[in-house]
Amino acid sequence: MLYIKINYVNNKIKILIVDDHPIVRQGIIYLLEKEKDIQVCGEAEDALEALAAIPRLKPNLIIIDISLPIGNGLELIKNISTLYPQIIMLVLSMHDESLYAERVVRAGAKGYIMKSEATDKLITAIRRVADGEIFLSKDIKERIFTKVLQSSTKPYSSSIDLLSDRELQIFQMVGEGIKTRTIANNLNLSISTVNTHYTHIKKKLGLTSNNELIQYAVNWFLSEGKK
C-alpha cells in the first residue's frame, strides 16, 4: 500500500467534504472550523461535483460518504485514487464499518469512520491519516490481517464478502426496494447488464430465483445494510 503523508500548506490540512446531506456537511464544518490545523476548502453533494471541485480547490484530504445520489462513494474513491494519487481520502458513513471498511481501503481510502461515532473520532482520524497512518477500528484491522493470513480455501468470512463492489451496490439497492430499471438508470447501466449482475449475485449467494434474491436482499438490508 502506498504511504502518503500530507505536505501542509500554511500549516493547515485542506479538506473537501463530499456528502449529499447539507445538514451533515454543515455539522462537519462546524466541528472542524475550531481546529487551527484544519481548513475546510469546499463541499460537494455528489461524485460529479467532487471531481469538478478538486482541480479548483486543490484539497489534500477528502471526507467521502459511501451513499451518494449521483455516483457511488466507492467508485469516487477509485477515480480519485487514479486521477489524484496524492490526495488522502477518509470515509465517513452511516454504514457499518464491518461491511465497507475493507472495500474502501482496497479502493484507495486511508480510513473509515461511522457517522454515529464521528464526533469523538473524526478529528483524530483526520490527523492520523494526514500523517500517513491507516485509521480503522482494532477489530477491522485484525479482520483484514486475518484474511491476509488465511489460506486460499477460506478467503471470505461471509457470503456477502463474495460480492464485488458493484454487485454489493446493486444488492443493497435491491434490498432498498429499488426496481431494476431505476437501478440501471441510476448506475448508468443497461437493464441487461443489471440482470447479468443479478445472475452473478444469485450464484455467489446460492440463490435460485429473483424472488429469493429480493427476499434475501430485503432481509439483509433491514438487519445489516441499513445500519
Which range among 51-65, 109-123, 136-150, 201-215 has the greatest average pLDDT?
A: 51-65
Q: Where residue 153 falls among pLDDT bands split at 50, 70, 90?
A: very low
Q: Where residue 151 falls among pLDDT bands split at 50, 70, 90?
A: very low
For residues 222 and 51, the model is more confident at 51
pLDDT above 80 for 1 = no
Q: Where residue 227 falls among pLDDT bands split at 50, 70, 90?
A: very low
pLDDT above 60 for 149 = no
C-alpha gyration radius of the chain? 18
**Domains recognised in the chain with CATH numbers:** 13-145 (3.40.50.2300), 159-225 (1.10.10.10)
C-alpha count within 13 angstroms, C-beta hemisphere, residue 103: 23
Q: What's the whole-number mean pLDDT along residues 83-104?
A: 88
Q: Where residue 98 falls among pLDDT bands split at 50, 70, 90?
A: confident
Q: What's the whole-number mean pLDDT along residues 160-189?
A: 88
Q: What's the whole-number mean pLDDT along residues 98-119?
A: 86
Of 155, 161, 51, the C-alpha closest to 98 is 161
Least confident span in 1-15, 78-92, 126-140, 175-189: 1-15
pLDDT above 90 for 14 = yes
* Exposure letters 56-81 (e unless 16+ CB within 10 A, then b): ebebbbbbbbbebeebbbbbbbbbbe
Mutual orientation of helices 180-187 and 191-205 as an angle, nearest 10°? Answer: 110
Number of C-beta neighbours around residue 186 at 10 A: 16
pTM of the model: 0.69
pLDDT above 90 for 195 = yes
The proportion of the chain whose per-residue pLDDT surpasses 70, expressed as a percent, equals 86
Four-CA torsion 93, 10, 55, 107, nearest 10 degrees = -40
Least confident span in 116-125, 156-165, 186-195: 156-165
pLDDT above 80 for 70 = no
Classify residue 48 by burial, with Cβ atoms within 10 Å: 0-12, 13-18, 19+.
middle
Rounded to whole angstroms, how far apart are CA atoms 101 and 109?
A: 9
For the record, the C-alpha cell of 60 comes out as 489534500
Q: Cα 25 from chain centroid?
A: 16
